[in-house]
């Protein structure tokens, strides 16, 4: 399950999202989601909005490969 953490750095918010291999999430780009940073479909109710979600998928680790060198 995707988890996220938001912190302030240099006066700006920074969000880190961790995904499991193969997990897929829709990230909000309209900035109006009640479930931000994840999309909840609010963009569909906004007049003249062309901002849909950004779909992000974590790659599955290839067999025999690992993250550490």
Per-residue model confidence as pLDDT tens for the chain (69 residues): 888 898 999 999 899 999 999 999 999 999 899 998 999 999 999 998 888 999 999 988 765 555 555
Q: Say how far apart CA 25 and CA 41 lie, in whole Å.
A: 13
What pLDDT, on a 0 to 100 scale, did the predictor assign at position 65? Answer: 56
Q: Say how far apart CA 23 and CA 42 lie, in whole Å.
A: 22
Q: Say how far apart CA 53 and CA 20 lie, in whole Å.
A: 19
Cα-Cα end-to-end distance for the chain:
26
What pLDDT, on a 0 to 100 scale, did the predictor assign at position 53? Answer: 94
What pLDDT, on a 0 to 100 scale, did the predictor assign at position 1? Answer: 84
Q: Please name which of 20, 6, 30, 4 lies closest in space to residue 60, comparing C-alpha atoms.
A: 20
pTM of the model: 0.70
């Amino acid at each position: 399950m995707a988890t996220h953490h938001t912190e302030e750095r240099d006066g700006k918010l920074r969000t880190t999202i961790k995904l499991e291999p193969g997990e897929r999430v829709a990230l909000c780009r309209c900035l109006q989601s009640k479930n931000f940073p994840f999309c909840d479909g609010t963009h569909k109710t906004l007049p003249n909005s062309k901002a849909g979600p950004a779909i992000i998928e974590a790659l599955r680790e290839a067999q025999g490969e690992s993250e550490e060198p």
